Structure 1
């Protein structure tokens, strides 16, 4: 396929515009890329999908890691300082006990609330037939 001479500047102009847009987004960081992708999805979903694919392919978002998993494993690993490791283990044990106590408190609180709501329901149910009888007589 042959291109006309007038098509060449248009192609380089389009690729130049894309290169400038890419550089502009790179200068502003990951949030700019994400904003462009979201805007692309809003305006015309294939554009957003193409941007997402490009960002994943070019690793614009960086390596994908799971912060919660990384922090959890770091919290359990020893530091090498035995005094700090003992303090950390004691603190984690104490926090787990407090969490268990709080969870049991919440369970008792829910049970008490449920019982109060059930008792109120039963009282209202018992009252309705008693109120309905004088009307029938």
Structure 2
């Protein structure tokens, strides 16, 4: 007994119905269904080729020694490798110092903004204080 899939890349009643429904819902779905009907039989070969190419690229990375982080592989020259490690350590120390200085400046700027805001708020509150009433002003009571 031969079994055929209901939805296969051919002009079957099911694929035509899905194409029509796809156009009614959202036109790119209809176009996708037409593409599947016309070129769907090539999808398996395309997938196989992509997998083969990806495997080939990844094997090349493994052979080239890309397991280590970039720039950390040994060159074979001990003096150069030692110098490079010292320079990288020095740069890490400089980066740490810059980060600390940045944090200190942010703290200083935050405190400066707070002081300025407090000064502006105090000035606003001073200008808002109720002024003492004088006897020469007319009152509502009489």
TM-score, length basis structure 2: 0.47
TM-score (structure 1 length as normaliser): 0.49
Higher helix share: 1
Asked which structure has the greater CA Rg, the reply is 2
Q: Which has the higher contact order (CA 8 A, sep 6+)?
A: 2
